[in-house]
Amino acid sequence: MPKITNIEIIELGEEGEKSSPWSSTILVLRLTTSDGVVGYGEAPTTLMTRPVYEQMREVARLFINKDVENINGNYFEFYKNSFYLPVSMESTSALSAFEIASWDIVGKIHGLPIYEILGGKVRDKIRAYANGWYNDCVTPEDFLSKAKIVESMGFTAVKFDPFGSDYHHLSEEGLLNAREIVSTIKNETNLDILIEYHGRFNANSAIRAINTLQEFDPIFHEEPVHPDELVGLRRVRDATDAPIALGERVLNKKEFLPYFTDNLVDIIQPDVTNVGGIREAYGSALLAEAFGAEVAYHNAFGPIQTAATLHLDSVIANFRIQESFEAFWPDWKKNLLKKGYKLDKGYFTLNDSPGLAIEVNERIIEEFKTDIMEPFNPSEPPWVVKGTFKR
């Protein structure tokens, strides 16, 4: 069995942030085996680029010289040694990159795309919704102008955060403005809508917002309350009948269980780059299926993450819709892959190449290597789409 003999951790980014702040840098992992097979993984960087980079060095100490095909064993070896793994996003993110890269290699060794190793496709086309499209949008007219551009690209659904600079408490002005934004897009386009709350509100404000916006029939309301307020989420659930989505901050499949047993969620959004990789993201979907819930994987960073996520979308029965920032990335990120998945008229497709079914552009790797931290703007949190935290 081939062993992991070389590990390269590479940060990529561009001076003068041109993407969403949380994804202005990405961490790429390149593993090489004793017989020369190369696999790629990716880790997220939301205001923690350097901590995740350093944690990847810790994971490397356990993965070096390990059998690359022993994905479960290598995963659990780090699980055993990383005392804070289930509650440390730095640890789960770092581990995810190694796990994804291992799957890429295993697929190449056996000449199979990952979706075949997971049991084969249940769909060939994967419906996407656009995100990241509404930078600098504040007024309903701003949102509508850009939404029409997105619609002209062939997308059939858009997600957006209409709440301006309100945080924790939703003001009456903020609620009225959000309603006008959502109403305008719903009535002036043919797009399905998904409403992003970014976990910004207390339960009282979330209830007011959902009960006001549900008339526009969104596919879901995402993270309506702060992610650590489970009792608040229960109050939201009891006060509304709207579909709730969450999960990008849930760090392994077992942590989803209370949301299902307490009937707190309709659609889960695990992130393959922080939940533990492909095995945990797949396990999360199987758990959701047992409770009749659906999956809309979180996908906000780079193309290696997207590729891994699409293999999962292809095989799970309870797929709902896939997040996509691709059309609104800076050029360096768009060009990181020489070959891979396709996004056309709002739908993703995969090819049948082995592993992740991608070819990485080494020129972009060399040209955009960096060691910077993400940009920080004290007047706007890094998790919002740029230029929207205002009214």
Please give the pLDDT value at position 45.
87
User: Of 112, 141, 174, which marks where a domain is finished?
Assistant: 112
pLDDT digits (tens, 9 = 90+) for 360-373: 999 999 999 999 88
Residue 391 placed within a domain: no
- Catalytic residue flag (residue 110): no
> Number of folded domains in the chain?
2
| Helical spans, DSSP H, in the chain | 49-63, 71-81, 89-110, 114-117, 140-152, 172-188, 203-213, 230-239, 257-261, 278-290, 303-315, 331-334, 362-367
Is residue 215 located within the same domain as residue 254? yes
Q: Are residues 217 and 302 in the same domain?
A: yes
For residues 94 and 124, membership in a common domain is answered with no
Domain assignment present for residue 371? The answer is no
Q: Is the same domain home to 236 and 337? A: yes
* CA–CA distance, 239 with 19 (Å, rounded to integer): 37
**Are 86 and 106 part of one and the same domain?**
yes
Asked if the structure places residue 375 within a domain, the reply is: no
Count Cβ atoms below 10 Å from residue 65 Cβ, excluding itself: 9
Question: Domain range holding 336?
Answer: 116-357
CATH number (domain holding residue 22): 3.30.390.10
Burial pattern 229-253, b for ≥16 Cβ within 10 A else e, equals beebbebbbeebebbbbbbbbbbbb
- State yes or no: is 198 an active-site residue: yes
Q: Please, are residues 142 and 384 in contact by the beta-carbon 8 Å criterion?
A: no
Catalytic residue among 168, 221, 226, 298: 298
Choosing from 169, 198, 221, 311, the catalytic residue is 198
For 308-357, what is each residue's pLDDT tens digit? 999 999 999 999 999 999 999 999 999 999 999 999 999 999 999 999 99
Whether the CB-CB separation of 224 and 236 falls below 8 Å is answered with yes
Among candidate residues 77, 112, 147, the one where a domain is terminated: 112
Strand partners, 8: 30
Residue 270 has pLDDT above 90, yes or no: yes
pLDDT digits (tens, 9 = 90+) for 89-143: 999 999 999 999 999 999 999 999 999 999 999 999 999 999 999 999 999 999 9
Task: Write down the mean pLDDT value for the chain.
Answer: 96
Same domain, 161 and 184: yes
Beta bridge partners of 39: 31
**Do both 318 and 352 map to the same domain?**
yes
